[in-house]
Chains A and B, each alone.
Chain A
Amino acid sequence: MKLPYAVTLGPGSSLADLTGTWRTERPVYQTLTAPCGNSCPAGEDVRSWLYLAESGGAGYEAAWRAIMDVNPFPAIMGRVCYHPCETACNRGNLDEAVGINSVERFLGDRALEEGWQVEVSAPATGKRVLVIGAGPAGLSAAYHLLRMGHAVTVRDSAAAVGGMMRYGIPAYRLPRDILDGEVARVLALGVELELDTPVTDLDAALAEGWDAVFLAVGAQLGRRTYLPAASAAKVVDAVSMLHGLAAGERPLLGRRVAVYGGGDTAIDAARTAKRLGASDAVVVYRRTRERMPAHDDEVTQAEEEGIEFHWLSTIERVEPDGLLIEQMELGEDGFPQPTGRTERLAADSVVLALGQDTDLSLLGPDSGCRVIDGTVDTNGSLATARAGVFAGGDVIAGERSVTTAVGNGRRVADSIDAWLSGRPTQRDPEPNLAQYEALNTWYFEDAPRSHRPRLELARRSSTFDEVVTGLDADTALFEARRCLSCGSCFSCDNCYALCPDNAVLKIGPPGQYVIDLDYCKGCGICVEECPAGAIEMVPEEI
């Protein structure tokens, strides 16, 4: 090239100057665990399926399939789960948690409407597994074991599948067509079902030659307490009452019903009594509302329906025409202390909802399984002390909920699969949680939460129609899009657009970026401006 007069160097590009050498720290893309998924007892990766659902249209099915990879009951979950994911949701610090549960329900319902199905793709292994108990834990384990290629037989003492989902949860919370629809989808994968077949002896069952057994008989025994009672007094336990109702009986409770207890089952019993025609349904509980184990949503709905609550009260005696109640007060340790003051409460019957125990008579005296405080002891992989016998759901210690049971079922399936193939079970690594402080929330639109409408009160006192209805498609989409994508890139292009050195390369849609370390000066703008906290600065080795 001929250079002009007095010019000695040809034109060059600044690309010759590798400004990356200035750097002392480098940005590194990271994917952190979102608090929603981390807190899900069923193990759902909530953020990932919300991401899929955010596209709408075909994204709904993709999102549903992502849920189905871990949880076979999205529509049930979207109704009965107490959604710890929403409690953990980072958006709660910004305005209100994302309505994860209602989006899950929308996806589950859409799947039932559209008839979406899952397949078994793994080749048959020839292994046979017996699942004792057709509740959420047993069905979840069966579902996953089948998808792994094992043959599964589910045995249950009841006349229908579902366990506590059918015999514990009232229809106004979980309509039976939803339950039947999702259960049928699991059964269609090829479950061998043996109903009306109680297992009374574990050893006898094992002698049938199963490769592994999953003990998931639940906690079906309502806990009783000694109450001095006149012979004419009607005292029933909530578990039996709800079971009988689900089996088609019509419990005779009378006009004035008192429920004793403070858990979700107590609320279920009181709301059920109201629907069966009780004019007064009263919950008697020895502590305060704040200290009640029942979930706040349930209590609020009960209050709306006219259920009365007697806080700080214990039942002293049951008399033919009512109850003698003693008032309590909270001591300094937070435990209720008797005051000696009593009052009378008119009641035709008393329903006891004081907790549930598990019937472990099938274990016998020499089962080899360790039993501690009425629950079966298991290790981290949910294996009992007896080789080949696993336990989960309400028979083991821990939170008793449908979601936990479903999560147990999946973990057991993994453990059984590992045990059958002779490989060790893998422990999940300690999660690196995406903290709220790591997000740059400036970039998120102010978007108040959409709440699910509830059934009119008139229909809630007389029918078992579902109380909480679902979100429509637009609203569910809106709600899914409120997700902040904590700790995971959602392709907003901020890092690419805001780098003063063009050192973030967008290598392909959607949202694949790399840092060009030849030119990255390590200013950290990309980290600061990432809405999701999905980039971190790492010191260079010097």
Chain B
Amino acid sequence: MTTTPLYQIGTFAAGNRLLDPDQRSVQSDQDRTNAITSGHRACRGCGEALAARVVLDAASRATKGRLVTVNATGCLEVFSTPYPESAWQLPWLHSLFGNAAAVASGTAAALRATGRDDIRVVAQAGDGGTVDIGMGCLSGMFERNDDVLFVCYDNQGYMNTGVQRSGATPPAASTATTRPVGTSAGNAFGTGKSLPLIAMAHEIPYVATATVADLHDLEAKVVKAMSMHGARYLHVLVPCPLGWGSPSAETIQIARLATRCGLFPVFEAEHGAVTGVTRIRQPVPVTDYLERQSRFAHLFAGAGRPDVVTALQDRADRNIARYGLLTEETP
């Protein structure tokens, strides 16, 4: 019989009165930075607004506030800074849609040139500004190993311009440009790309994926990234109630289901090799994840598209096998 007192009451929650303060999440801290403050115009239940605060608050704590952030055009920039208001409570630069990585590289170079390289640089962009439009600048930043942490908030589409498909949109999802019409079942299989794997191919010091559903994991990865130098890449899954067609209250729940079904593998890699994976606790079939989102509703309406659902399950199973997301002991 175990004699180790555990903290069953909310072990996975943000904080816990019985935990040592240093084991609680940064977000549970009464004095967290609040890098992005209230009054921003993100939609109800926006995963990206939350993720940006979590990432930058953790980075602020890790750097003791010596931090500059560069922000690509996109949802995050649009909802946080309608002229002349700003929700940012840290030094913040707005770049073009596609050149956030280049601006961040330049910012880091300028700080170094002026002898202030104790100030760290974090670049942030949505998936459009990262995997599509910003790809060239980002690859350059990676191959030069510039001292920047680049964070992609992946909501799997161009949400702010009206939910168009991006290179990060998953197969079978319905977007404004991939409607399921006729025999089409939404976004085509065999398209799109995994930017974490592309980043790993550059053999940069650190690549990690995370979701907004696991604050402890996300914060730990930010802290680890900020403890390193050179080019680092963090890919955070942020559900979008508007573009995914999910209830605003379920943003966290859906991010959690994305990992529990295996469609979004959570792992970290150093110098091109996977060094750690977050194993799935309480696995679920992909349908548990898909059915909650209207962008996949066509897979279940009427006779449905069981063939497509099976293909998505295969995709999840490949992730599970590839990253070893399940263990013998998985409950």
Determine whether the beta carbon of A474 is less than 8 Å from that of B4: yes
Interface residues on B, range: 35 or more
Tell me the chain B residues, 1-54 only, with Cβ under 8 Å from chain A: 1-18, 24-25, 27-28, 30, 34, 36-42, 44-47, 49-50, 53
A528 to B292, CA, bound (A): 14
Which B residues are in CB contact (< 8 Å) with A442?
12, 256, 282
Interface assignment of B253: CB less than 8 Å from any CB of chain A? yes
Q: Confirm or deny: B294 has a beta carbon within 8 angstroms of a beta carbon on chain A.
A: no
A469-489 at interface with B (beta carbon < 8 Å): 472, 474-475, 477-478, 481-485
**In the bound complex, do residue A444 and residue B10 qualify as a contact, i.e. CB atoms below 8 Å apart?**
yes
Among A107-115, A250-258, A505-513, which stretch is in contact with chain B?
A505-513
Residue pair A500, B46 in contact (C-beta under 8 Å): yes
Contact A445 B12 (CB under 8 A): yes
Q: Which residues of B contact A (CB under 8 A)?
A: 1-18, 24-25, 27-28, 30, 34, 36-42, 44-47, 49-50, 53, 80-87, 215, 241, 247-253, 256, 282, 331
User: How many contacting A-B pairs (Cβ < 8 A)?
Assistant: 190
**1/0 contact trace for A504-542 toward B, CB 8 Å?**
001011110000101101111101110100000100000
> A-B pairs with the 6 shortest C-beta distances?
A524-B249, A493-B15, A497-B14, A14-B39, A497-B27, A492-B13
Interface of A is mostly: loop
Q: How far is the CA of A16 from the CA of B10 in the complex (A)?
A: 35
Chain A residues, CB < 8 A from B16? 491-493
* Whole-angstrom CA separation of A494 from B16 in the bound complex: 9
* Contact for A518 among B15, B38, B82, CB less than 8 A: B38
Question: A11 at interface (Cβ–Cβ under 8 A)?
Answer: yes
List chain B residues, Cβ under 8 A from A431.
Answer: none
Q: Are A525 and B252 in contact (CB under 8 A)?
A: yes
- Whether A519 contacts B39 by the Cβ 8 Å rule is yes
Is there contact, CB below 8 Å, between B37 and A496? no
Q: A17 in the interface, Cβ–Cβ < 8 Å?
A: yes
Asked if B53 and A506 make an inter-chain contact with CB atoms under 8 angstroms apart, the answer reads: no
A529 to B45, CA, bound (A): 12
Interface residues of A (CB under 8 A from B): 9-19, 22, 54-56, 442-447, 450, 472, 474-475, 477-478, 481-485, 490-494, 496-503, 506, 508-511, 516, 518-519, 521-525, 527-529, 531, 537
Shortest beta-carbon distance from A501 to chain B in Å? 6
On whether the beta carbons of A500 and B50 are closer than 8 Å, the reply is: yes
Q: Is the CB of A500 within 8 A of B6?
A: no
Judge whether A527 and B249 touch: CB under 8 Å. Answer: yes
Decide: A524 and B11 in contact? CB cutoff 8 A.
no
**B21 → chain A closest CB, angstroms:** 10
- Contact A490 to B10, CB < 8 A, known contacts A19-B39, A518-B38, A523-B248: yes
| A500-B45, A522-B44, A523-B249 known; A445-B11 Cβ under 8 A | yes
Contact B86 A13 (CB under 8 A): yes
- Cβ of B289 to closest chain A Cβ, rounded Å: 14
Among residues of A, the one whose C-beta sits closest to the C-beta of B253 is: A528
Q: Is the CB of A55 within 8 A of B18?
A: yes
Instruction: Please report the C-alpha to C-alpha distance between residue A56 and residue B258 in the assembled complex, in whole angstroms.
Output: 38
Cβ contact within 8 Å between B18 and A54: yes
Minimum C-beta distance from A17 to chain B (A): 4
Distance in angstroms between the alpha carbons of A497 and B87 in the assembled complex: 18
Residues of A within 8 A of B83 (CB): 9
The CA-CA distance from A10 to B24 in the complex, in Å, is 38
Among A11, A16, A491, A497, the residue within 8 A (CB) of B25 is A497
B36 proximity list for chain A (CB < 8 A): 502
